[in-house]
Amino acid sequence: MSAPAPPRPDDRVSALSAITRPRWTAVLGVVAGIALLVLCANASRLSVATVVAGLPNIADFVGRMFPPDLSVLGTAVVLMGETLAMAVTGTVIGVVIAVPTALLASRTVFPERWLHYPVRTLVNVVRAIPELMLALLFVSAVGLGALAGTLAITIATAAGMARLFADVFESADRRAWDATAATGASRAQRITWVLLPENLPTLASYTLLVLDSNVRAASLLGLVGAGGIGIELTTRLRLFEYQQVLTIVLVVLVVVLALDRLGALIRRRLV
Amino acid sequence: MSATALHAADTSARLTATALSYRYPDGTQALDDVGLAVAPGEIVAVLGPSGAGKSTLMRCLAGLHSPTSGTVWHDGTDLARLRGVARRRALARCGLVFQEFELVGPATALSNVLIGRLVHQPPVVSLLHLVRRADREIAVGALLRVGLEPQLRKRADTLSGGQRQRVAIARALAQQPDVLLADEPVANLDPRTAAAVVDQVVALAREENLATVLNLHDTGLATRIADRIVGLRAGRLAFDKPVAEVDAALLAELYAGEEQ
């Protein structure tokens, strides 16, 4: 009767289910994160009071937009067509450049460091340039107009997609690739018979998403004179023609929403 | 054809491994002084506990791994010495079937089988998926032989496990190989499908007179279909006997100490 009683299973269960105290490093991390957020909010002049004080101004601004002035509808539609054309052309040519670039930049397809390393570096450098800045560069190179904007979108898409596609290729399933290598097929053959067919749905899905964001980018490039609907928007804003501005914004809204729905439909069929 | 009928295995063998050793870069000695000879039309099953080096042996035999020491001779050619096109043509003579099928999922069964003919295509045109008519006929013929006519133009990822492995077998056949290597070809299939698929592999190998090596973990299946059983344990050859001489005691010794 002197042996200690074995611990009851209930005791073990209650001990194991006790709430563990957070480690001090975790607490410190959370505190540091909150401090950083406060600093950022301060630096970005975030002030609830200003927003509240400004509410009547915002209401006034929106109020002056109504009713929309449909006299610019024709111009807006034509310019939106140009915007769409810029986005589509830039996306297609960009992706055509991006696919081979991504293949060269991916470590699994081209393990040769002298090849993938410089390509990857170039892609990252180009990717760091904002689209609007590219548009400014091309405006000074080829002059005002849609060509400058299309070139800016092409280059931005090529770099952005090359990076994304390279990551897709690197994380792709290697088994069929290796099995095909064992049949004696060359690397180029493995790319078009295995790697691309396996990843086509993913690539197409990303391309549609980028087309979407390129339409929005193309709507803005007019700000720097690179064609599209943006130039009309800035002109009307400077002339305080808010009712015409609303018409232009609505045209952009309808096209972007329609494209978004269309993209979602196609993506669902792809995957 | 039994192994004992092959008096001088080294001269009549199509695939020969001599003093084969393989050490992984991390220092693991996966194979240690393994010798093996397989004659045309002979079916050899490799058995052994997991980690015995069966898959490494397969990769060395296929020429995918270059042995640390020793040589694999395929009809008198040492694969490890070949480079470029010569190496790719030699690889093509060795058909491979894997545990996980390793097909291109979104591609059709036919497209997967055509991959087995790529090595014989003009390099640039084939990138556009244009394959010579004669080669397309070889691929279709291979699919018909494994009984997949209705699935010819179906996506590989819509097929059942057994059908996928048959596509992989057809891909290997389309290479018109003289050696067939299968690494746990039916481990992912249910027992009935597994038996049917292995029977088909064996029948095709005999028709084509292929030197065949199968890694299997099902000893019953192995003793039923093979001419010879090779036992591998801790990277070394435990035994290499005609199937008639392999009994339960020998197998128990081979797997001794392995947990269920």
Q: Bigger pLDDT: A243 or A271? A: A243
Distance CA B175, CA B115 (A): 9
pLDDT of amino acid A169 = 95
Better pLDDT: B61 or B79? B61
pLDDT score recorded for residue B210: 94
Report the residue of chain B nearest A199, measured CA to CA: B106
d(CA B242, CA A115): 52
Candidate from A184, A186, A198 with C-beta closest to B104? A198
Vertex A217: Cα angle to A212 and A220 (nearest 5): 140
Preceding amide of A67 cis, omega within 30? yes
What lies within 8 Å, CB to CB, of A258 at 6+ separation is none
Find, in chain A, the residue whose alpha carbon is nearest to that of B171: A183
Res. A46 pLDDT band, cuts 50 70 90: confident
**B176 to chain A: closest CA residue:** A183
Task: Name every chain B residue with its beta carbon within 8 A of the beta carbon of A188.
Answer: 123, 127
Query: Is residue B239 within 8 Å of residue B52, measured between CB atoms?
Result: no
Mean pLDDT of B210-215: 94
Measure CB to CB from residue A180 to each of B100, B115, B126 and give the nearest one. Answer: B115
Residue B219 has a CB neighbour count (10 Å cut-off) of 17
Name the strand (E) or helix (H) holding B160: none
CB contact under 8 A, A176 and B103: yes
Question: B56 CA to chain A: closest CA distance, Å?
Answer: 14
The token pair that represents A184 in the structure block: 């004696």
pLDDT value at residue A15 = 81
Q: Where are the beta strands (DSSP E) in chain B?
A: 15-23, 29-38, 43-47, 69-74, 77-78, 94-97, 179-183, 211-215, 228-233, 236-242
| Yes or no, beta carbons of A183 and B116 under 8 Å apart | yes
Cα separation, A204 vs A208, whole angstroms: 6
Q: Whole-angstrom Cα distance, residue A131 to residue A151?
A: 10
More confident residue, A126 or A13: A126
**For residue range A64-104, what is the model confidence (pLDDT) as tens digits?**
888 888 888 888 899 899 999 999 999 999 999 999 999 99
d(C-alpha A201, C-alpha B236), whole Å: 46
Q: Does the structure show a pLDDT above 70 at A2?
A: no
Contacting residues for A251 by C-beta, under 8 A, at least 6 apart: A73, A76, A77, A80, A229
Q: Which two tokens mark B142? A: 């291979």
State the Cα–Cα distance between residues A142 and B19, nearest whole angstrom: 69
By DSSP bridging, strand B69-74 and strand B179-183 are unpaired
Using alpha carbons, list the distances in angstroms from residue A71 to A247, B32, B151. 9, 86, 60
Interval B32-43 mean pLDDT: 94
Query: Is it the case that residue B1 has pLDDT exceeding 70?
Result: no
Q: Residues A191-234: pLDDT tens digits?
A: 999 999 999 989 999 999 999 899 998 988 888 888 888 888 88
Residues of A with CB under 8 A from a CB of B: 175-176, 178-186, 188-189, 191-194, 197-198, 200-201
What was the pLDDT predicted at B77?
A: 87
Q: Please tell me which of the candidates A175, A178, A193 has its beta carbon nearest to residue B115.
A: A193
Beta strands B211-215 and B236-242 are unpaired
What span, in angstroms and rounded, lies between the C-alpha atoms of B117 and A217? 46
What are the beta bridge partners of residue B38? Answer: B15
CA angle, B121 then B113 then B178, to 5°: 75
Amino acid identity of residue B210, one-letter, is L
The residue among A52, A146, A163 whose CA lies nearest residue A105 is A163
Q: Chain-centre distance of CA B120, in angstroms? A: 21
Shortest CA gap A193–chain B (Å):
7
pLDDT of residue A8: 66
Provide the residue count of chain A: 271
pLDDT higher than threshold 50 for residue B51? yes
pTM of the predicted model, to two decimals? 0.81
Q: What is the dihedral of CA A254, A256, A258, A260, to 10 degrees?
A: -150
> What is the least distance, in Å, from the CA of B103 to any CA of chain A?
5
Instruction: Flag whether residue B157 sits within 8 Å of chain A, measured between CB atoms.
Output: no
Rounded Cα distance, B130 and B154, in Å:
19
- Cα B175 from Cα B169, distance rounded (Å): 10
pLDDT at B93 (0 to 100): 93
Q: What integer pLDDT is reported at residue A7 of this predicted model? A: 60
Cβ–Cβ gap A183/B105 under 8 Å: no
* CB B177 within 8 Å of CB B209: no
SS3 B179: strand
Higher pLDDT, B11 or B151: B151
The minimum CA-CA distance between B127 and chain A, rounded to whole Å, is 6
SS3 A247: helix
Say what the pLDDT of residue A4 is.
Answer: 63
Q: In this model, does residue A3 exceed pLDDT 70? A: no
Q: What share of chain B in percent tops pLDDT 90?
A: 73
Buried b (16+ CB within 10 A) or exposed e, A65-74: beebbeebee
> What's the confidence (pLDDT) of residue B134?
94
Quickly state the pLDDT bin for A5 (edges 50, 70, 90).
low
**Nearest CB neighbour to B102, from listed A176, A197, A200:** A176
CA distance A202 to B217: 37
- Closest residue to B123, CB basis, from A175, A181, A186: A186
Phi, psi of A144 (to 5 degrees): -65, 150
List b or e across B92-121, with b for residues whose CB sees 16 or more CB atoms inside 10 angstroms: bbbbbbbbbbbbbbbbbbbbbbbbbbbbbb
Helices vs strands, H then E, count in chain B = 9, 10
pLDDT digits (tens, 9 = 90+) for B125-180: 999 999 999 999 999 999 999 999 999 999 999 999 999 999 999 999 999 999 99
Of B87, B102, B128, the CB nearest to A179: B102
With a cut of 60, say whether residue B259 has pLDDT above it.
no
For A106, phi then psi, to 5°, come to: -95, 130
The terminus-to-terminus CA distance of chain A in angstroms comes to 69
- Minimum distance, in Å, between the CA of residue B8 and any CA atom of chain A: 30
Summary mean pLDDT of chain B: 89
Strands (E), A37-187: none
**Which whole number is the average pLDDT over A146-164?**
94
What is the reported pLDDT for B2?
A: 39
What is the average pLDDT across A236-255?
90
Distance (Å, rounded) from C-alpha A214 to C-alpha A95? Answer: 12
Judged against a pLDDT cut of 50, whether residue B5 lies above it is answered with no
CA distance linking residue A110 with residue A99, whole number of Å: 14
